Amino acid sequence: LASREFLAGLPKAELHMHLDGALSPAMMFSLAQRNQVKLPYTSVEEIEAAYQFKNLQSFLDLLYQGASVLKHEQDFYDLARDYFAKCKADNILHTELSFDPQTHTDRGIPFDTVISGILRAMDDAKTEWGISSKLVMDFLRHLSAESAMKTLEESLPWKDKIIAVGLDSSELGHPPSKFTEVFARARAEGYRVVAHAGEEGPPAYIWEAIDLLKVERIDHGVRADEDPQLLDYLQKTQIPLTVCPLSNVRLCVFDKMAEHNLFSLMDAGLRVMINSDDPTYFGGYLNDNYFAIADAFPLTRKQALLLAHNSFTSSFIDDVEKQEFI
Ligand code: ADE
Ligand code: ZN
């Protein structure tokens, strides 16, 4: 079996992590003071105590409220810098982090402010710590397709710095089909494409993400196991699923870790790997997710190696660069 030491030492990539979801309660509290933003909390402990979620929406409400403390380029830098320090500690050699521009542009923060701070932290992480990273731009699916299209257009001057577009936020009631044109335009502009699907939403949303958005990777996708034909398709095509164990338990997708379907997806031959999603909200960074799985299941070294291997093969690093990692 894989010990904690073995898991911590494994070289890993992370492919599903939202930058706003890496804002620690301590940084939220200090940025609120620095930027004079009012929060409904009087201490860091109160923030931590508020993190009890009954579903995805109850979490998103607090995520977007927390993100309101981010105002300046330096704030986005500090946030990303904090995450990269955790990457270093967790032996993450490559990360594909996502950001949600609309969370910020909708409250008047310029797109350029957000992305400049993130890119500066990505450069520094590479230079100082040798951590490779790529940036994914997610659209908020509870907002309109027009708003997503406007965001896509705003991103075009930066398109060489953004590897892919994705889709996140409230899944139920906002199927991938709502964004067919936006994703077609994004692909035409040269972006790779991913989407959250099958987290709370049904297998039909995973099919739509594949057939209409033409995604190369599914974020979450754990509800695929309700559709045998879909499982078969995912096995044959090896479209990766970026699974997030602690997130799924904290958002009540599974009642407890012992009920998670990571192993049944692996046993069905799907290409899956482990990710942290929103580490400061769900009680752990990437290694904590590996540990939580290893605590609930007999995780062998071979299985752990396969998960870590899949994290690199499912990444958007080009084939030449991939040789360095696998
Ligand atoms: N935004 C941040 N984390 C998310 C998740 N797990 N699902 C949908 N949207 C998100
Ligand atoms: Zn996510």
d(C-alpha 38, C-alpha 51), whole Å: 18
Pocket of ligand 1 from Cβ distances under 6 Å: 18, 21, 56, 63, 168-169, 196, 199, 247, 277-278
Give the 3-state secondary structure of residue 218.
strand
**For residue 20, which atom of ligand 1 is closest to its CA?**
2
- The pLDDT value recorded for residue 319 is 87
Q: Is the pLDDT of residue 321 over 90?
A: no
Percent share of the chain, pLDDT over 70? 100
**Cα of 154 from ligand 2 centre, angstroms:** 22
Neighbours of 197 (CB within 10 A): 29
**Cα 53 from chain centroid (whole Å):** 18
**Do residues 90 and 8 touch, judged by C-beta distance below 8 A?**
yes
113-133 confidence digits (pLDDT tens):
999 999 999 999 999 999 999
Fold of the domain spanning 4-325: TIM Barrel (3.20.20)
ipTM entry: 0.98
Q: Where are the domains of the chain?
A: 4-325
Place of tokens 């731009």: 137
- The pLDDT value recorded for residue 326 is 79
157-190 confidence digits (pLDDT tens):
999 999 999 999 999 999 999 999 999 999 999 9
The HSE-up count of residue 123 (CA atoms within 13 Å, CB side) is 8
144 Cβ contact list (under 8 Å, min separation 6): none
Residue nearest to atom 1 of ligand 1 (CA): 169
